[in-house]
Chains A and B, each alone.
Chain A
Amino acid sequence: MREGKRDADNEAALTGGRHGNLVELHGVTFGYGMRCVLDGVTLRFRRGCVTAIMGPSGTGKTTLLRLIGGQLKADRGQVLVAGQDVGRLDREALYELRKRMGVLFQSGALFTGLDVFDNVAFPLREHTRLPESMIRDLVLMKLQAVGLRGARHLMPGELSGGMARRVALARAIALDPMVIMYDEPFTGQDPITLGVIMKLIRLLNDSLGLTSIIVSHDVQEVAAISDYVYLLSGGRVVAEGTPRALRETASPWARQFLGGLPDGPVPFHYPAPDYAADLLAG
């Protein structure tokens, strides 16, 4: 029953999303209070692809994910997920849609009161009436996929940062979502963990037929695993393309960002009065 319904939903989603895009943002404008964070951005996320959104801190990357997840509503423009306008859904429909979205927050956001097993089991227990034996099998499968089946009895406090993110990943795929969003998955990880997470993102995307959205400012890692990249700055899309195409881009801003150059269109110095005059003034 359930499976049949889900297939039908997917079918509808396929026909609903134009051009094979699972998620689309059309001219989305959003601000916190008076302050405009996103200024008419248009983004498309192709089904089955890993798409990255890059940009300096504070450009509204996390905000973008919250708009897609329906936690925030766009002031103007449209956010379409599987053909549904997220901003217009009522609570029931939004919650139904969220069951098919996975989000990996910046911190992992594991429930500190539950151990690894119960964290991964959480969405299954909340949303299904499966018997405990089947939940156990499913949880072990998801944990095996991220290589942490042996860590199932640990509490979140006992995990390293990288392990916590992998557990969060297992939890995010527990309900077999159609899209998964990663908020800065590479920040603050050691090189080995970084490699593991990169490999997992690509592997899960391809083997589970997911659509992945990565928000990040780690240029090398993102270039290595994504199919398409959007560069965001000052609330606008300043460049887009495949990682290879972007490297050959002419935009000086994009070159500064991708090359990690300290000075360029984004100045090294915070705006200040003339240096010599400032020193003499004291």
Chain B
Amino acid sequence: MPARGDAGRDASVPSLAWLRRLGRRVLAFCSRLGRANLFILRVLAGMPSVIPRFHLVMAQIYHVGVLSLAIIVFSALNVGMVLGLQMYNTLVNFDAESALGPVVALSLVRELGPVVAALLFAGRAGSALTAEIGLMKATEQLSSMEMMAVDPVRRIVAPRLLAGVLAMPLLAIIFCAVGIGGGYFVGVGLLGVDEGAFWSQMQDQVDWSEDVVNGIIKSVVFGVVVTWIAVFEGYESEPTAEGVSRATTRSVVYASLAVLFLDFVLTALMFGAF
């Protein structure tokens, strides 16, 4: 509704058409952002009613968390092994291959763990959430729930948002742990880096609050953003088969872009020297 331009009126000035289109897009984006904010406020207002019925959240943690475990573990293993291999090849030129442990661990804990886990989470759990809620809307399940005097925002959306926010950091931690395991396997197992050096240097150089806590904070933020986008896109989707499929695509694209952008912002805040 917001960006209804008066198409006919300025037809005599074609050079301004692009400006009008741009303005329309910006307005549409702003109104969507506004709706997303109002939506999350509604969800948060419904949170208190979710806490006493925690079994609803547990079921969703299973769906978004446990069912994402396989791809998280598989990806983490591969990322860890590639890291081990690449870093070894560089470090060995400086006779510094004993630093492989901290290098692998720091890249995972600070960046790759939270970011890659969040991207995978958006692809696996986020898209499933959007499709599920969109389908419930398209098949009038949400409408009929409303008519049964049950608020779908409280009953359906709130437990899913909470589950996503809780599951994301856990998945990121698992990603880091498995990734370090992959780096260890390649570095120590295959390339012959000293095992003691690998672990002790890692212990030495990875700081609890500086690295681990910051990584966890990142993944919490990503969890909020990815799940928020997923449930919002599902809830706002056009209630047709086509509308749901478009919403699912949008959910993954927007969530991935948001994760990468926020990663830069958070990294600058946490580790930036400016």
Q: Give me the interface of A with B, judged by CB distance under 8 Å.
A: 33, 69, 71, 95-96, 98-99, 101, 103, 105-107, 109-112, 122-123, 126-127, 168, 175
Contacts and interface: CB of A to CB of B under 8 A. Distances in A.
B58 to A, nearest CB: 14
A112 B141 contact: yes
A107 B149 contact: no
A98 B149 contact: yes
Contacts of A126: 148-150, 155
A110 B144 CA distance: 9
B143 interface: yes
Interface string B138-152: 011101111111110
A98 B150 CA distance: 9
A93 to B, nearest CB: 11
A69 B150 contact: no
B50 to A, nearest CB: 13
Contact of B146 (A33, A71, A107, A110): A71
Contacts of B145: 111
> Size band of the B side of the interface?
10 to 19
B148 A105 contact: no
Contacts of A96: 149
B147 to A, nearest CB: 4
Interface string B114-157: 00000000000000000000011001110111111111000100
A110 B146 CA distance: 13
Nearest to B59: A113
Contacts of B146: 71, 98
A136 to B, nearest CB: 19
Give the top 3 A-B pairs by smallest Cβ distance, nearest first. Answer: A109-B144, A109-B140, A98-B149
A127 B150 CA distance: 9
Contacts of A111: 136, 141, 145
A110 B1 CA distance: 32
Contact of B149 (A33, A99, A105, A110): A99
Most chain A CB inside 10 Å of its own CB: which residue of B140, B144, B145, B150:
B144
A123 B148 CA distance: 7
26 contacts: A69-B147, A71-B146, A71-B147, A95-B149, A95-B151, A98-B148, A98-B149, A99-B148, A99-B149, A101-B147, A103-B147, A105-B143, A107-B139, A107-B140, A109-B141, A111-B136, A111-B145, A112-B139, A122-B148, A122-B150, A123-B148, A123-B150, A126-B148, A126-B149, A127-B149, A127-B150
A123 B144 CA distance: 11
Contacts of A95: 149, 151
Contacts of A99: 148-149
B148 A112 contact: no
A75 B49 CA distance: 33
Contacts of A107: 139-140
A80 B1 CA distance: 31
A123 B143 CA distance: 14
A103 B135 CA distance: 19
Contacts of B136: 111-112
Most chain B CB inside 10 Å of its own CB: which residue of A71, A126, A168:
A126
Interface in B208-237: none
